A and B are shown apart, each in its own frame.
Chain A
Amino acid sequence: MRRKSLPFFALLLSLSFISGCGGPVKQNDTVVIWHWMNDRDDAFRELTKRYEEETGNKVSFELYAPSVYSQKITAAAQARILPDVFGILNTKSVVASFIKSGFIANLNKDFAKDNSAWEKSLYAEAIASTRFEEGNVYDVEPGIYGVPIDITNLKILYNKKLLEKAGVNKAPETFDEFIEAAKALNRVGISGLVSGWGEVWMVDCFASNYAFNIMGEEKVLATFRGEVPYTDPDWIEVFRVFETLRVNNALTSGVVTKSNKDAEQDFALERAAFAFNGSWCVNVYNDMNAELEYGSMLPPPVSDKFPMKIWGGAGSSFMVNNTSPNKDKAVTFLRWLTARKQQIYLAQKIKNLPSNHFATASIPEILSEFASAMAHATHPTIWPLNEESMVTEKFDRGIQSIIIGEKTPQQVAQEVQEIKIRVMEKKKKKRK
């Protein structure tokens, strides 16, 4: 019988704990920052220490799991308990919604101070990703609403040793050369391109690169506006890129259900000769196989009508809470965080591209290859408008089904266009 009372004692014991220590009361002058970047947490903590030593001001970073971060921010906004500074892990349209609900501060005045010195120190592309232009489609008051702290560029990486083995002496410069290289690799039993296409945004990114190459930015945006259908020959050609990759066995087996972590493992362990990945990969490959010899290249263009574009320029940004009493302190800290010295520290510690271009000079070589691709960089956050997410979903899933040989480019184009029409009609109805 005595054993049965164990749970009661446990309850009593833990109750005493609970009442004993509620959450420690936060000092009001500490700037609290919420983020999801778990690989940067240590570096952030080190920087807060330095900041406190230099200025005497306290900053505290709180890290949350990336899988629940968006939900955390959403719930905190509704409960009016957003911290002084936070990141948003989503599209520009979501950021716009936060701004319109009054949760994010407009930083125009802060960036304009000292003859725009702060603004000028950062990459224009990075600033553009948090800027809302005059007359933007989101109906947001024009201004800069976030501080970019780093940059991500997505390119193709190639394994020098494996290409040599297959008798390919230089990195392919056109899509045809790429296919030839994949065939040569196949002959010696090496897989071609690997990427985390189980995460659909990476499919979207790759397709978007080719859409820009085949039809140019204007036509892509016109499609988003509904003026050009997805059944247009140019779009069919975009879809056909994936069909060609499949027919020529240029993709690793199982690429459509790979998480990017698994894809990175494949490339690092030399199971695939090419990888489509972001600049964060430098750190990852280094961890898994320090002797990996690889170079980076732009996705090989299909057409010479328009330049190849890659996603880049945008990275992670921090927003300042509009209702926070610590607004000025928060801005001061963010300005310090994006200054040259701190940016160099961050770039060296986590091997990410810095958002401060004065810091770019002192980064590892392969990273500067990524940085040099800046001229080719574009990103959905700097386009004046984006595709409806329901259409994007169908588009990405359609490409997956082309890759597994289930559907033809024409079929997918048809299906995507059907959704596009439906979404446009719904929007029209709503406006009425």
Chain B
Amino acid sequence: MSATLTQKKSIASVKSNAESFLFILPAVLIFSVFYIYPFSQIFNLSLREWDGISLSRPLIWFDNYKELLGDKIWWQSLWHAGYITLFALTFQNILAFALALACDREMKLKGFYRVVFFIPPILSEIVVALIWKWILYSGMQEGQHIGLLNYFLNRTGWHHLINNWLSNPETALTCIAIVHSWKGFGWGFIMLLAGLQTIDRQLYEAARVDGAGPLSVFKNVTIPMMLPVIVVVLILTVLGSMQVFVLILGMVGQGLVYHTEVPVTRILTAMQSGEPRFGYACAMGINFGMILIAVSFTMKLISSRMKQA
């Protein structure tokens, strides 16, 4: 009796499992063909020396990775991307959260702001780079500053701050980080706004009835409810900022010595140089991915610890 019952149960659970698996099947199928297969090929190539063209691809095992460990400019480029990321994580996300909170409340012009704040992400990189290059332009014509910022500094008497913004190693990367954060805060804004909108209004009411002030409501209701969305926004910020490169190409060309190199530009350089190094570029990509995974999972771990606490 009991044997058939468990059998029946297990058949039912197998059926249920299979049914559940069907939900992820389309995703897994597409993913296997268009991601896992190329990934296996790229990993294979990262163990080889190959110029992208020739028929022979000698296996050199982990030599590319070994060389990467000693590649100072690679680690430097990672640090640059890290700097831009830290900048975006703080300034961009604080701005995005503040604006989302503001637009979550009842206030005038709410709809206007909601639309306007999403203009930078929509704008083409071409336009963004052109505008910011004009703002940060450092040249002069007939004794006049052409760049908006330098012109402004000159007019307001801050002569000592006039700078060669994009060709000065001390300011170039920060300028890029600012422009990147400005272009990207709209994403954080709408995702956080979407998150805020799904919080049950009754929770706020209940907290207020209990006599909690706005700060305490924010700390005890908003933050815990928003934690998963915040983590996603943080992860996406890390991803987007670590992989920034179109903006850099647009603003400083192939770069200011090595001061504006980021991992993706290093990978492109390796792939498109006069003697292309595909194997090395692949090793860079995989090394870079591992680092990103480590960072993201650490963030996830910290957030789940925070939840438990």
Contact = CB atoms under 8 A, between A and B. Distances in A.
Contact of A94 (B141, B167, B276): B276
Interface in A91-135: 91, 93-94, 97-98, 100-103
Interface stretch (A152-160, A166-174, A253-261, A291-299): A253-261
Contacts of B251: 257
B236 interface: no
A146 to B, nearest CB: 16
Given A200-B254, A257-B172, A271 B52 contact: no
Interface stretch (B103-111, B190-198, B266-274, B292-300): B266-274
Given A97-B54, A397-B258, A404-B169, A254 B274 contact: no
Contact of B139 (A199, A200, A253): A253
Contacts of A386: 274
Contacts of A259: 253
Interface stretch (A22-30, A224-232, A317-325, A387-395): A387-395
B138 A406 contact: no
Contacts of A390: 273, 275
Contacts of B138: 253-254
Contacts of B142: 189
A271 B168 contact: no
A200 B268 CA distance: 14
Contacts of A198: 252-255
Contacts of B76: none
Given A397-B257, A406-B257, A97 B139 contact: no
Contact of A191 (B137, B140, B274): B140
A196 interface: yes
Interface residues of A, number: 45
Nearest to B134: A262
Interface string A265-294: 010011110000000000000000000000
A388 B143 contact: no
B29 to A, nearest CB: 17
- Among B52, B143, B255, the most chain A Cβ lie within 10 Å of the Cβ of B52
A254 B253 contact: no
B51 A94 contact: yes
B164 interface: yes
B133 interface: yes
A254 B137 contact: yes
A77 B276 CA distance: 15
A70 interface: yes
A401 interface: yes
Contact of B275 (A91, A98, A269, A406): A91
Contacts of A94: 51, 53, 274-276
A400 interface: yes
B281 to A, nearest CB: 11
B139 A254 contact: yes
A97 B53 contact: yes
Main secondary structure of the interface of B (DSSP, over half): loop
Interface string B238-274: 0000000000000111111110100000000101111
Contacts of B137: 254
Nearest to A430: B49
A252 interface: yes
A74 interface: yes
Interface residues of B, number: 36
Contacts of A388: 275
A90 interface: yes
Nearest to B250: A259
Nearest to B254: A200
A404 B167 contact: yes
B253 A404 contact: no
Contacts of B143: 189
A401 B256 CA distance: 8
Given A189-B140, A404-B169, A257 B252 contact: yes
A74 B53 contact: yes
B212 to A, nearest CB: 37
B47 to A, nearest CB: 16
A46 B238 CA distance: 49
Contacts of B256: 256-257, 400, 404
Contacts of B24: none
Contacts of A103: 53
A199 B168 CA distance: 17
B221 interface: no
B166 interface: yes
Contacts of A389: 273-275
Nearest to A388: B275
A400 B54 CA distance: 33
A199 B137 CA distance: 17
Nearest to A92: B274
Nearest to A88: B53
A262 B167 CA distance: 14
Contact of A392 (B55, B133, B271, B274): B274
Contacts of A253: 138-140, 164, 167
A93 B53 contact: no
Nearest to A201: B254
Contact of A199 (B164, B253, B273, B274): B253
B140 A77 contact: no
A257 B139 contact: no
Contacts of B166: 254, 257
28 contacts: A71-B272, A74-B276, A91-B274, A94-B53, A94-B274, A94-B275, A97-B51, A101-B53, A189-B142, A189-B143, A191-B139, A198-B254, A198-B255, A199-B253, A254-B138, A254-B166, A254-B167, A256-B257, A257-B253, A270-B141, A271-B139, A271-B141, A386-B274, A388-B275, A389-B273, A404-B169, A404-B256, A406-B169
Given A198-B254, A199-B253, 8 more contacts: A74-B53, A94-B53, A97-B53, A103-B53, A258-B253, A271-B141, A400-B257, A406-B169
Interface of B: 51-55, 133, 137-143, 146, 164, 166-169, 172, 251-258, 260, 269, 271-276
Interface of A: 70-71, 74, 77, 90-91, 93-94, 97-98, 100-103, 189, 191, 196, 198-200, 252-259, 262, 266, 269-272, 386, 388-390, 392-393, 397, 400-401, 404, 406
Enumerate the 9 nearest inter-chain pairs by beta-carbon distance, A residue then B residue, closest first: A198-B253, A389-B274, A91-B274, A257-B252, A97-B53, A389-B273, A253-B138, A254-B167, A189-B143
